[in-house]
Amino acid sequence: MEDRAFHDWYRFVLSFPPHLVRDYLDKFGITEDQCVLDPFCGTGTTLVECKKLGVPSVGAEGNPFAQFAAQVKVDWTPDPEGLVLHARRVAEGALAELDAAGFFDDLLAGMRPIRPDRDRFLRTLPAEQERLLLKGSISPIPLHKTLILLEHIRRHHDERYSRHEMLALANVLVFAASNLHFGPEVGVGKPKQDASVVPSWLSEISRMSDDLRLVTKRATLKAEVCLADARQLTSVLAPNSVDAVITSPPYPNEKDYTRTTRLESVVLSFIHNMAELRAVKKGLVRSNTRGVYSGDDDDRWVSDNREIQRIAEAIEARRLALGKDSGFERMYGRVTQLYFGGMARHLADLRLILRPGAQLAYVVGDQASYLRVMIRTGELLAEIAQALGYELIGIDLFRTRFSTGTREQLREEVLLLRWRGGD
């Protein structure tokens, strides 16, 4: 239960476990008069745990929907009873509209007559937004119900509750209404012809309310979330303001992290078109070939790192040996260089924000996604960090996972650093 309260309001499928945050807050000896940063905060795992323990925190995230989710998960100001009452009023309006057109959204749906012409009333996304989705992400009737409920949330907008209602809808959209499934990558499964959207949403609101009842004393504790590129944190954070970093950056693994939140980003209007999606991708550390652009030059930060250059060359040599010739495969070596260059930029920029003696924990994983060439992510980031003036404290083994590509166990680790400051 400790790892579910607030976290389950919306849980990013690739997030790391909350207990890991608690372990390193304890290991670092972080107190309530210090500040913790998560520069790749995703949907806020580190920030939620800090707030639960009474520790001020700040996060940075380049994906606008993930930033929104993190903001809401650390906003504990709504009155629990008021949230439920407001949501019920929203639900009444949505259900009335659905019933009027024969789209019943309750347990009695199978016992009630369905209007033969109801499909004429189906709402859809604008064509430009629909093109951004994975084909078959959501079936027509669940999408229609979602859009009706979304309209009523906006129609009854209340500054105290509407953001929480939107996040609850995002959770229902992905995990109850959609056809998505999550494995190594997000994909589309068996279509759901229908889904109970409004009752599922009310259940999520009830769970939020239950969590809020437990934490009234922590409601005003500082927990901020900036929409920012982790390579340019000095543009949003004050110098010498952070005592610790606990984070999990993207891995160099060919996962397009924007695909994981694509459905909710589009349906809830965080992304409207391809230009906006491209802008989001450009604000992220390059970790997959779908996010590489012609003007990218982060690789210059690691141009003198022999091991990274060796890995890029090994990937290219293996590509040629295997006769792999797609546009994406041709970029495997380059995206590896861009990834580590972007992380070097991040660590360089971060130095101005850290207080002397600041402690850092980076959850990272070895990878072999690029034609089975092994990338020891933790070791390479440790080398980069040391060259930038950080002290290497150690690399803890977090867990291992089996790679179907290499048929071996890959390490997930926690890279531990200390910023020495001006000494």
- What pLDDT is recorded for position 111? 53
Domain-ending residue, one of 229, 248, 267? 248
How many beta carbons lie within 10 A of that of residue 318, not counting itself? 16
Task: For residue 34, tell me if it sits in a domain.
Answer: yes
- What pLDDT is recorded for position 406? 65
Instruction: Tell me, yes or no, whether 18 and 107 share the same domain.
Output: no
Instruction: Tell me, yes or no, whether 14 and 89 share the same domain.
Output: no
Using an 8 Å Cβ cutoff, are 419 and 360 in contact? yes
Instruction: Tell me, yes or no, whether 296 and 399 share the same domain.
Output: yes
Task: For residue 275, tell me if it sits in a domain.
Answer: no
Q: What angle do CA 188, 190, 194 make, to 5 degrees?
A: 110
Tell me the two tokens of residue 151: 């309209």
Residue 411, SS3 per DSSP:
strand
- What pLDDT is recorded for position 7? 94
Using an 8 Å Cβ cutoff, are 219 and 55 in contact? no
Instruction: Tell me, yes or no, whether 175 and 164 share the same domain.
Output: yes
- d(CA 276, CA 281) in angstroms, rounded, equals 9
Task: For residue 266, tell me if it sits in a domain.
Answer: no
Instruction: Tell me, yes or no, whether 409 and 297 share the same domain.
Output: yes
Instruction: Tell me, yes or no, whether 45 and 116 share the same domain.
Output: no
Task: For residue 271, tell me if it sits in a domain.
Answer: no
- What pLDDT is recorded for position 182? 84
- What pLDDT is recorded for position 408? 74
Alpha helices in 253-293, H assignment, sequence order: 257-260, 262-267, 274-282
Question: Which residues have C-beta within 8 Å of that of residue 74, sequence separation ≥ 6?
Answer: 6, 44, 47, 48, 51, 57, 223, 225
Q: Are strands 354-365 and 408-419 parallel, antiparallel or unpaired?
A: antiparallel
Tell me the two tokens of residue 243: 């005592």
Task: For residue 203, tell me if it sits in a domain.
Answer: yes
What's this model's pTM, rounded to 2 decimal places?
0.94
Domain-ending residue, one of 184, 212, 240? 212
Show the domain range for 33.
1-64+215-248
Q: Is 18 exposed, middle or buried (0-12, 13-18, 19+ CB in 10 A)?
A: buried
Instruction: Tell me, yes or no, whether 105 and 177 share the same domain.
Output: yes
- d(CA 389, CA 400) in angstroms, rounded, equals 29
Task: For residue 75, tell me if it sits in a domain.
Answer: no
Instruction: Tell me, yes or no, whether 224 and 203 share the same domain.
Output: no
Count how many domains the chain has: 3
Instruction: Tell me, yes or no, whether 387 and 323 share the same domain.
Output: yes
Instruction: Tell me, yes or no, whether 52 and 85 share the same domain.
Output: no
- What pLDDT is recorded for position 4? 86
- What pLDDT is recorded for position 189? 92
Using an 8 Å Cβ cutoff, are 70 and 59 in contact? yes
Measured over the CA atoms of residue 337, residue 342, residue 343 and residue 344, the dihedral's sign is: positive
- d(CA 367, CA 376) in angstroms, rounded, equals 7
Task: For residue 282, tell me if it sits in a domain.
Answer: no
- DSSP annotation of 173: I
The enclosing domain of 13 has a CATH number of 3.40.50.150
Task: For residue 299, tell me if it sits in a domain.
Answer: yes
Q: Residue count of the chain, please give it.
A: 423
- What pLDDT is recorded for position 112? 63
Instruction: Tell me, yes or no, whether 225 and 339 share the same domain.
Output: no
- Name the stretches of the chain with pLDDT < 50: none
How many beta carbons lie within 10 A of that of residue 409, not counting itself? 11
Instruction: Tell me, yes or no, whether 301 and 392 share the same domain.
Output: yes
